[in-house]
Structure 1
C-alpha cells in the first residue's frame, strides 16, 4: 500500500511530528484543522461560523492535494470550546456537507492550541484506490 504525506508547510508539523494529511491506499486522514492562516494568525477569533468555514476550506485543499475532494469525506469530528455555539458551527458544517452528509461528531473540549480557536476539525475520506498519487 502506498503512503503519501501532505504538508501544510507549518513549523508545527516537524516540531510535533505530524502531517496535514496522510493518504494510505484509498483512505485519507486529515489532521485536526483550525482556522489558522499561512502567517500563523487565527482567522475570525470571535466567529465560530467563519472559523468552521475556513477550517473546512483548509481540509478541502489538503484533500485536493491527495487527489480527493470533500465529496469523498465519510467522517468528520468537530472539537468545540463552547458547545453553546453548536448551531453556528453546525450550520457552517452543514453548508459545506449538505448533500454529502458524512458521519460526524461534535464534542466540547476545554480549549484548543490557541485560546482564540473555537473549533478544530478532523476528516476522513475514502476514494477509489486507482486514483492514488504516485
Structure 2
C-alpha cells in the first residue's frame, strides 16, 4: 500500500491521504473545489466542477494514472438540479473513455462545496 501526495492538489483537510495505491489500483479521496493552496473556488457548479477535475488530474498523475485509466467515478452533488451542468463538465474530461459512475445528491459537503468527486483508476 502506498499513500499519494502532491502539492498540485489541496492537502487533505482531515486524517486521510489524497489517495492510496493498492495492487496497481489507485483510490482517490474525494476532491472538492479547493485550489492547491487550500482556497475554496467560489462561483457556480461549473467553476467548482472544473477545479475538482484539476485536483483529480493532479492526484492521478502523481499516482501514475490518468483520466484514461479511471474505471469508476463517484460524484456527490449538493443539488440534483445541477446534474446537467456537472455532466457537461464531466464529459469534457471523459469524452471518449467513459468509466462506470454513480452520482448521488447529498445534503452537505465539506466546506459547503457544491460537488465532490472520487475515482478509482488503474495505475500504468
| TM-score over 0.5 for the pair | yes
Q: How many residues align?
A: 121
Aligned partner of 2:64 among 59, 62, 67: 67
Q: Corresponding residue for 1:40?
A: 38
Structure 2: gaps of 5 or more residues: none
Query: CA shift at 1:87, angstroms?
Result: 0.6
Q: Corresponding residue for 1:78?
A: 75
- Residues in 1 aligned to 2:109 and 2:116: alpha-carbon distance in whole angstroms: 8
TM-score of the pair, normalised by structure 2? 0.90
Please list every run of at least 4 consecutive aligned residues from structure 1 whose deviation after the TM superposition is greater than 3 angstroms: none
Aligned partner of 1:24 among 19, 22, 25: 22
Q: How does 1:1-134 map to 2 (within 5 A)?
A: 3-8=1-6, 10=11, 12=13, 16-43=14-41, 45-115=42-112, 117-128=113-124
CA RMSD in angstroms comes to 1.5
- 1:103-123 superposed Cα distances (whole Å, 9 cap, x missing partner): 1111100011112x1000000
- Residues in 1 aligned to 2:107 and 2:12: alpha-carbon distance in whole angstroms: 24
TM-score of the pair, normalised by structure 1? 0.84
SS state at 1:22 partner: strand
| Change in CA separation of 1:37 and 1:68 when aligned onto 2, cut-off 3 Å | same
SS state at 1:32 partner: coil
Indicate if the aligned counterparts of 2:74 and 2:101 stay in contact, CA closer than 8 A: yes
